Amino acid sequence: MVLGSSAPATLLKSPREIEIMARGGVILHATLMHLKDQVRAGISTLELDQMCEAFIRSHAGAEPAFKGLYGFPGSACISINEEVVHGIPSRKRVLRDGDIVTLDVGVKLDGMYTDSAITVPVGEIDEETQRLLDVTRASLDAGIAAAVADNHVGDIGAAVQAVVEAAGFGVVRELVGHGVGFSPHEELQIPNYGKPKRGKKLSVGLTIAIEPMVNVGTAKIRTLSDKWTVVTADGKRSAHFEHTVAITEDGPRIITLP
């Protein structure tokens, strides 16, 4: 038995709206590549955040989607090592050789939103950490491949979960991907675990952020006293990769690539 109705029609985007998102996605990808090039030992997360905002605003009509969202103070969520997501940029948070840093950024362009994230090494990293990055990227690829019309949300989560757990890592369950487009976070949730043919059915015109968050150890997390920064419960490292994806008649279209 197949469970789950189709995603609400109110979430579906027209071809024109998807093209606007795609233009924003090009800016967002360029922003992340610019920040990746700046990642080095000795730079603070505040400096990276300032570069992020300046780069986005250098494109006519583009704005940082996260700046002030729900009261968040930065233009980018910048999370280091055991920080899973929502790290607050700070001049006191300075990158060191061997760290990994997640750069999670959103762009608003002509009223439409896109969302993407990468985790990058600072200098040389150990073998286990490199495997964490490789597996997390591979799990995102698997999730995207499952994002086809008439599949279900559960197909995406099951694909991500299979890659992560086969590698012996933990996939975060309390945090999920989401619909995106008309707003930074739309009501549809995209978990990184699940069972095939369960959950909402994916329809042409749906745009979603698929974002595996993968931990070396336990999948469990906790939130720090700043009420934003989410860390692994065991203090081990976490990686996070994300793309905005449109469901099309020709298969998944990654919006946050050139």
According to the annotation, is 115 in a ligand binding site? yes
Distance CA 202, CA 4 (A): 10
Burial 180-214 (b: 16+ CB within 10 A, else e): bbeebbbebbbbbbbeebbbbbbeebbbbbbbbbb
According to the annotation, is 124 in a ligand binding site? no
Strands 243-248 and 207-210, sheet pairing: antiparallel
According to the annotation, is 104 in a ligand binding site? yes
Query: At 216, which amino acid appears?
Result: V
Distance CA 109, CA 72 (A): 19
Burial 45-57 (b: 16+ CB within 10 A, else e): bbbbbbbbbebbe
Q: Binding site for substrate: which residues? A: 86, 185
Q: Binding site for a divalent metal cation: which residues? A: 104, 115, 178, 211, 242
Q: Binding site: which residues? A: 86, 104, 115, 178, 185, 211, 242
